[in-house]
Structure 1
Amino acid sequence: MTPPRGEQREDAVLRAALELLAEIGYGSLTMDAVAARAKASKATIYRRWSGKAELVIAAIERHTATADQPAPDTGTLRGELLALLTSMRDRLTGESAALVLGLLTAMRDDPALAAAVRARLIGVKRDAFAPALRRAAERGEITTTPDHELIAEVASALLFSRLFVTGEPLDDAFLDRLADAVILPLVHGATT
């Protein structure tokens, strides 16, 4: 069954906003450009969103809602950590990376936009490790549940640094090192 025309139009507008954010950044994004890319009128866009910030926030929320997936249950803490790190890497090297880069400068100048980006793109990552750590505690692999927010922040920072700062590969070998040399010691350091 095809979604109603209004939903199709909204999807097209939000997709256009995300594409333009990734291509030209927040500062260069205009409602005219979104309308042209979505093949919609500006009036259609303004009936739903009052301005660029509201449109971008809605696009980010839609994007992250469809990208969010629960932590996989692989049966081992290391397996789950690697699955989470792989998912984070794949999202970061995909469209999310371009979105974050397109928004970094704008976040400094627009507090509402910054709050929405932090809540949806960064906040989601902070909770990503909690289910895996809880399951590891239930299986007896760890005796307490460590600070999942700190673990997520460290993992995100190292992935971000590799991708945008050092340019070193984000291959499976690096993910293995990250899990074994950084994340697992953090987890086990909290349980001793």
Structure 2
Amino acid sequence: MVAQGRRGEVREAAILVATLELLGEVGYDRLTMDAVAARARSSKATIYRRWSGKPELVVSAVKRYAAAPAPEPAESGDLRQDLLAVLLAMRSSLTGQDAALILELMLAMRRDAELAAVVRSQVVAVKSEAFGDVIARAVARGELPSTVDHALFVEISSAMLFARLFVSGEPLDDAYLRRLIDDVLFPLLRQSGLQ
């Protein structure tokens, strides 16, 4: 029974990995259960026993493999250094995953409400928690007031990283991340009277 359970886990993992690979290669609209079955060396019947259709399959794959939180950076005791550590982790996560997969998920989210909800709750929310932790620690140290709303900073930093990755194609190097903090995030804190 244990061996059969383990085989089932291996089979499921192969199907979910194949789903993400194909999603990045051909896109959500052209992703088929036949293609997933062929890539995973599985039968369609096996896939349909576990998932009722493509949205459910993609949602499971995103939950399992694309939503893993980045390791939480160690606290440095300094807001600037902590922000830089979070941005470095975000960059690593964005560039470590296949950019085509990330872009395809963003496009598919516009057409599939269930997929969008899962990506927002499992990927976006998880990634923003690290930023919230940095802000909370800065508040605890007295660097920021307790009224600070970190959501704006999460949105701006994420948008700038995405624009760099998908729009301009310019490098997401350390110098750029430092400029993002010094020229955008800290000035916003000052302008808001929070620093």
TM-score (norm 1): 0.89
Q: Compute the displacement of 1:74 (Å).
A: 2.4
CA deviations 1:79-105 (Å, max 9, x no partner) are: 111111111112212325322211233
Q: Find the counterpart in structure 2 of residue 114 from structure 1.
A: 116
Corresponding residue for 1:191?
194
Q: Tell me the distance in 1 between the aligned counterparts of 2:21 and 2:193.
A: 41
**1:12 maps to which residue?**
14
- What value does the CA root-mean-square deviation take over the aligned residues? 2.0
Task: Look up the match of 1:87.
Answer: 89
Q: Check the 8 A contact 1:126/1:148 in 2, yes or no.
A: no
Q: Matched residue pairs, number?
A: 191
SS at match of 1:191: coil
* Cα displacement (A) at 1:71: 4.4
Q: Secondary structure at the match of 2:68?
A: helix
Q: CA deviation at 1:33?
A: 1.1
Instruction: Describe the shift of the 1:65–1:190 C-alpha distance in structure 2 as closer, same or farther (beyond 3 A).
Output: farther
Q: CA deviation at 1:39?
A: 1.4
Q: For each residue in 1:135-183, what CA deviation from the matched residue of structure 2 results, as whole angstroms up to 9, or x when unmatched? A: 1122222233521111110001001111111222211000000011112
Q: Which runs of 4+ in 1 moved over 4 A?
A: none
Match of 1:39 in 2: 41
Q: CA deviation at 1:63?
A: 1.5
Which residue of 170, 183, 189 maps to 1:168? 170
Name 1:139's counterpart in structure 2.
Answer: 141
Instruction: Map Cα deviations across residues 97-134 of structure 1 (whole Å, 9 max, x no partner).
Output: 32221123322222212222222222223333111111
Aligned equivalents of 2:185, 2:69: Cα separation in 1: 23
Structure 1 residue ranges without an equivalent (≥5):
none
Q: Which residue of 1 aligns with 2:29?
A: 27
- Whether contact under 8 Å (1:78, 1:179) holds in the other structure is yes
Identity percentage over the alignment?
A: 55
Structure 1 counterpart of 2:149, one-letter code: D
Question: Do the aligned residues in 1 keep the contact of 2:67 with 2:126 (CA within 8 Å)?
Answer: no
Q: Which runs of 5+ in 2 are unaligned?
A: none
Q: Residue by residue, what CA displacement relative to the aligned partner does 1:40-75 show, whole Å, maximum 9, x if unpaired?
A: 111111111111000000111112443443343222
User: Deviation at 1:190?
Assistant: 5.1
